[in-house]
A = this chain, B = another copy of it.
Amino acid sequence: MSDSQPELAKEQGDSPSFELDTDQVDEIVDALDAADFAAVRKLCAPLHYADVADLLEWLSTADRLRLLDVLGDDLDHDSLAELDDNVRDEILEHWGLDNIVQAVTNLDSDDAVDFIEDLDEENKRKVLDAIPAEDRTFILESLKYPEDSAGRLMQRELVTVPEFWTVGKTIDFMRQSAEDAPDSLPEFFYDIYVVDPQHKPIGAVGLSSLLRTRRPVKITEVMWEQMLIVPITMDQEDVAYLFRQRDLVSAPVVDENGRLVGAITIDDIVDVIDDEHEEDMMLLAGVGEDDLYDAALDTTRSRFVWLAVNLLTAVLASAVISLFEATIEQIVALAVLMPIVASMGGNAGTQTLTVAVRGLATKELTATNATRVIMKELLVGSINGVLFAVIAGCVAWLWFDDIALGLVIALAMVVNMTIAGLAGTSIPILLERAGADPAIASSVFVTTVTDVVGFFAFLGLAALIML
């Protein structure tokens, strides 16, 4: 983005237009509907590629494909890198091979890999055969690494210098490269790397250090040796943790032999952080990651699984209730009140669970403080249990004019909310220790526990005390 394009309007002023407004979108849709393609192209021309990506996402499938056809070669391929996977797949299916090849050739190496990995085997081969040999080699190389690894995230383009160079020589080299082989330099970079004769990284130099330093100074004098080096197979979630923990803007990536093969920059990491967030949130609710752009049938199918699990646990809770059919027949007020105990336990459990899942994801909940956190949640659960026991007990007593009923709901409340605190912390911790993602099944387990315990304690105590 550092290339000067002074012909375009500046986005300045008190309220910068940093997102597409509804009016603009409506105008474009109207122009599409009216088949006024010149107007569509004119309206889209000043848009940033990220806004074009948003526009494509917001449109209906029919409008989306029409817009693509209208824009044709005017489409900035960088837009494709910003699209949601489902939307991109739709475009890939719609497009001919020519369009795909052109897009892959234009994109940065890491975005091109992202783009090509979703194609089926036949189309992948066809595209690879059609692109320049150099791009092909890199893409094939990247595709060898697991989908969520550093090898997929990294860019191959980087600036490396030998350890005996000076600051001046390094700057001259960059100026010469920019003139002789501009493609060898990354579009944006923040660090250059000092390598030994085996091409192993021995230090990093931030560009701001380089610019602060006089030309005759040796590069090894300004380099930062404590840099963190990312192995090419490292999981992207761990790489993101590293970037956050150390406030990094870029990091070098090495292959199995310790040789420097690429660099990861913060813009890719921000996307990873966003994806991980989305995953945590969606898993907790039992939803797939790309749900919003999924076709209705795909969404129905992916949510069905979680709902089926929920049905099983709901039947289990019903089975507990059916143990006490005779009791309910005699005191029908029990049927009226029993959802209260289960619901309060479920909510208290979900609160605790959310804190624990988030703590595990940010590595703030660890082996060191796990016992302390569980003890705290037990305490919080039992204090709130006692408070709500008093409130719910009084409500039940006054409502049904029956002090025994008030006592029963109060006791059941204390039991269930204390258990909720225990289950909400210990279940995700145990899942994590067992190697599972603590977000995925915790919620089912926790609400099953609070439903079963809630109904059993309330109805069981009623049978014991009131009959």
Contact = CB atoms under 8 A, between A and B. Distances in A.
Given A226-B11, A291-B355, A303 B384 contact: yes
Interface stretch (A2-10, A69-77, A121-129, A428-436): A2-10
A144 interface: no
Nearest to A350: B285
Interface stretch (A31-39, A94-102, A358-366): A358-366
A178 B358 CA distance: 42
A237 B213 CA distance: 36
Interface residues of A, number: 153
A365 B293 CA distance: 10
A369 B55 CA distance: 10
Contact of A231 (B15, B175, B314, B455): B15
Contact of A58 (B242, B332, B366): B366
Nearest to A323: B336
Given A229-B12, A292-B365, A329-B329, A18 B387 contact: no
Nearest to A187: B208
A50 interface: yes
A211 B224 CA distance: 19
A21 to B, nearest CB: 9
A171 B228 contact: no
A209 interface: yes
Contact of A342 (B175, B177, B339, B367): B339
Interface stretch (A112-120, A133-141, A243-251): A243-251
A249 B190 contact: yes
Contacts of A372: 60
A48 interface: yes
Interface in A34-93: 48, 50-51, 54, 57-60, 84
Contacts of A84: 364
A174 B351 CA distance: 52
Contacts of A286: 347, 350-351
Interface centre among A177, A282, A300 (most CB of B within 10 A): A300
A247 B108 CA distance: 14
Interface string A302-323: 0110111011011101100110
A141 B313 CA distance: 57
B1 A224 contact: yes
Contacts of A175: 211-214
B354 A287 contact: yes
Nearest to A7: B225
Minimum-distance CB pairs A-B, first 8 = A285-B354, A2-B206, A335-B335, A178-B212, A207-B207, A2-B209, A58-B368, A247-B267
